[in-house]
Structure 1
């Protein structure tokens, strides 16, 4: 006689795959826009399910922002947005027009990094079903919250300046929102999206 309990699937036990969500996404017949944040980077892929396994049509990691002299963390909200913008522009070049968002086991809270990446992909022209209410506002996309936090810290008399010293060194007197808009323009120019209303 076998065991009286039913063991859940291994990838579900390891908190890697939500099989119900995956089955629902596959029914759409569209490529999945897979966004996964890690402790260091944001990973974005356009994946198609095939009988022999998933096929990744295009992938971008936020480490690509180093090419644009990115001075901040590679896992913050503005980094997720810019990585999403690059992913969307590259996806268009390989013929992807529509996709469906796959957030995996990430909790869907308003304005988180996954939805910042989605914002970038949608701005690039890829059609992804979503509610505009879930997207982060433009102040967070362009790093206003980081800028105000840095300024607040530096205005404190007892702040030693260690936390953001590298950022200040790289940026000089430039403001973070100005820098992000500049990098955004460079990305659009490089991938042929200058005429987009971003």
Structure 2
């Protein structure tokens, strides 16, 4: 008769490949609001999240589909859209009293100049204090969309207009 199991079943979210609990614990131990960045192929989700014992509490959210309300007529999964989404989330978080945060990429790889870091740059430009090495942030040409200007006509001008519109909406 067996006295114990020969194996231990890991947590469900670890089995499904959704959560790295070691990384999550280190983020939570800092007791700082997290800037959660979750890209998909077509869109970008950026949230400011606080930890509570009963579960995480979302302070502010920005989804790249919302950029259409500010006049963004281009794709919502590219680097300029990620920056604008981060900017939008940062301003919303500041309205609710958030001063700073740390980046939570989840299971995403840390790739220099990626959409994740563009969203982070947007949040920093909104006024949030977020520690980051300057070498990982995308340069201004990529953020404004110059690298895709041959595919999208007038994207750099539209980027500037939408950025001003977002800033104007939250500086009231």
1:65 to 64, 67, 77: 67
Q: Offset of 1:5 from its aligned partner?
A: 2.6
> What is the aligned partner in structure 1 of residue 58 from structure 2?
56
The equivalences for 1:1-198 within 5 A come to 1=2, 2-148=4-150, 150=151, 175-192=154-171
Aligned to 1:15, the other structure's residue is in SS state: coil
Cα distance in 1 between the residues matched to 2:122 and 2:25: 26
Provide the TM-score with structure 2 as the length reference. Answer: 0.93
Measured after TM superposition, the shift of residue 55 of structure 1 is 0.9
Rounded Cα–Cα distance in structure 1 between residues aligned with 2:12 and 2:132:
30
**CA drift at 1:70:** 1.6
Which TM-score applies when normalising by structure 1? 0.82
Gaps of 5+ in 2: none
Tell me how far 1:69 sits from its aligned partner.
2.6
Mapped to 2, the partners of 1:80 and 1:68 lie a distance apart of: 14
Equivalent pairs, count: 170
Bigger-Rg structure (1/2): 1
Once residues 46 and 176 of structure 1 are traced to their aligned partners in structure 2, the CA distance between those partners, rounded to angstroms, is 28
Which aligned segments of 4 or more residues in structure 1 are displaced greater than 3 angstroms? Answer: none
